[in-house]
Amino acid sequence: MHDDHEERIQELLLLQRVAQRISSILDLDRLLEEILSDVCQTFGYRRSTVWLKDDATNELVLHGWTGPHHREGDRFRIGVDGIVGQVGVTRETYYAPNVLLDPYYQFGDERSRSELAIPLMVGGRLIGIFDVEHTEIDAFPPARIQLLEALAGHVATAVENARLFRQERFEKERMSKELHEAQQIQVGLFPAQSPEVPGFAIEARCIPCREVGGDWFDYLPLDDGRLGVILADVSGKGMAAALLMSSTRSILRLLAEDGLPPGEVLRRINRTLLKDLPAARFVTMIYAVLDTAHRRLVFANAGHPYPLLVDSAGGRFLPTEAGFPLGIRDGPFAEREVQLPSGSRLVLYSDGRRGGVRNRADPATLRRRIGNGREPARRRARFRLRLAGFRRSDRGHDPRAGVRSSLIRKMLNPQNSPCHLREAKWQVET
């Protein structure tokens, strides 16, 4: 009586240990190894195995075992090979009290005398077989079989959870790899370096908050020494925005290289996007053409934040009369011409930049941040630190924001040194 009581305690403790392992171990190989070892040590079994069903081949593949004469990857054909194969067909527990007399037994370990095979079922679906062997004849009384069936139910749940975890991890790794490759492709679409234009020093910076996104800038060398400059932002984030950005970039380059004026380029892009753009998607864009010989900039704006011009008269935004975001409705895109006298600066920025400084991007604030090009070096250095701080606070303030970007053009007197703003997209010096 005492021995039965002690045995019952050991059985309950085994179930408790198995439950604890199931809740704490998601690595399938390690989980099966620990459970099977515990079962054999607790009850003195000769060998224990777990076979998982390969749906592609309709075979049972050895995935975990203790004891001799087995190798990982061994296979049993369902309905053909041994007691395990038979249970794969019936999906019911099978007990062979004396394997030497059993018609389904297939020789494995010469010391085995009794074998118990239990199907691992999840939602009425066979996922594997739990099999144990003992050196004694009729070593599995009904109470023990009932206990091991309950244990098999826990093992089936653990196997399914571990499989789902492994599958999810694999999928995340695959997606991460694809995102990294997409990021490399997208980075390759940005200019590798700023163009060298006589009388101008141009600098660019793009800081994404995700692997890929819809913000974009570009340069286009045009006829007569002119330079096309593009700053755009596709609605949304992630892969969808990046794909739309790539297609919009191709359309713009095709049209702009024909020498069309900015307003006409945006109008033609818009008509193309109206036909093909998915619902609830749009693109904001500024397309500008810089005439370096006459220090003149002509631009059209499709719903993008207004450029900011800072010169001797102060800082002011430069709105245009017409221009909805691309892909929303048909309509004209008004052009505006701006003279860029020496010492002035023109700032183009994304909405991420404006939101990142918590809507403090009014003309006076931006003028203070940017300055007039004639500040002492110490003040310019402080500005670079403040701008870097904005970049860090942007990410903490709104992780959904896309690319924190701005376009800065500086026209300085020849004797002045440029203030290289690290957050700037472009910086131009004369």
Residue ranges of alpha helices (H) inside 234-332 are: 238-256, 262-276
DSSP letter for each residue of 25-90? ---HHHHHHHHHHHHHHHHT-SEEEEEEEETTTTEEEEEEEESSS--TT-EEETTTSHHHHHHHHH
The Cα 326–Cα 40 span in angstroms is 69
The Cα 27–Cα 20 span in angstroms is 14
Contact 393, 356 (CB under 8 A): yes
Report pLDDT for 365: 55
Report pLDDT for 371: 53
The Cα 420–Cα 426 span in angstroms is 10
Contact 264, 286 (CB under 8 A): no
The Cα 201–Cα 215 span in angstroms is 23
Report pLDDT for 402: 36
DSSP state of 224: G
**∠ CA(226), CA(232), CA(233), 5° rounding?**
175
Residue at token pair 């600066």: 345
Report pLDDT for 207: 66
Task: Collapse the DSSP code of 374 into the 3-class scheme (helix H, G, I; strand E, B; otherwise coil) and give the result.
Answer: coil
Look at residues 396, 402, 410, 405 and name the one whose alpha carbon lies nearest to residue 423.
405
Neighbours of 14 (CB within 10 A): 19
Contact 376, 383 (CB under 8 A): no
Q: Average pLDDT per run of 10 along the chain, which is 430 residues long?
A: 66 75 75 82 83 91 76 83 93 95 84 93 92 92 90 87 83 79 69 74 65 75 88 78 82 88 94 84 91 90 88 85 89 91 79 44 52 48 44 40 36 31 37
The Cα 1–Cα 4 span in angstroms is 5
> At a CB cut-off of 8 Å and minimum separation 6, what does 77 contact?
58, 59, 60, 85
Task: Collapse the DSSP code of 300 into the 3-class scheme (helix H, G, I; strand E, B; otherwise coil) and give the result.
Answer: strand
Q: In this structure, what token pair is assigned to residue 349?
A: 């920025």
Report pLDDT for 131: 92
Contact 118, 156 (CB under 8 A): no
Q: In this structure, what token pair is assigned to residue 94?
A: 């099978």
CA distances from 319 to 279, 322, 351, 357, 369 (A): 27, 9, 15, 21, 21
**∠ CA(126), CA(132), CA(138), 5° rounding?**
120
> At a CB cut-off of 8 Å and minimum separation 6, what does 160 contact?
122, 127
Q: Which domains does the chain have, with CATH numbers?
A: 2-165 (3.30.450.40), 186-410 (3.60.40.10)
What are the b/e assignments for 233-270, b being 16+ CB within 10 Å?
A: bbbbbebbbbebbbebbebbeebbeeeeebbbbbbbbb
Give me the half-sphere count of Cα atoms (radius 13 Å) on the Cβ side of residue 95. Answer: 13
The Cα 349–Cα 425 span in angstroms is 8
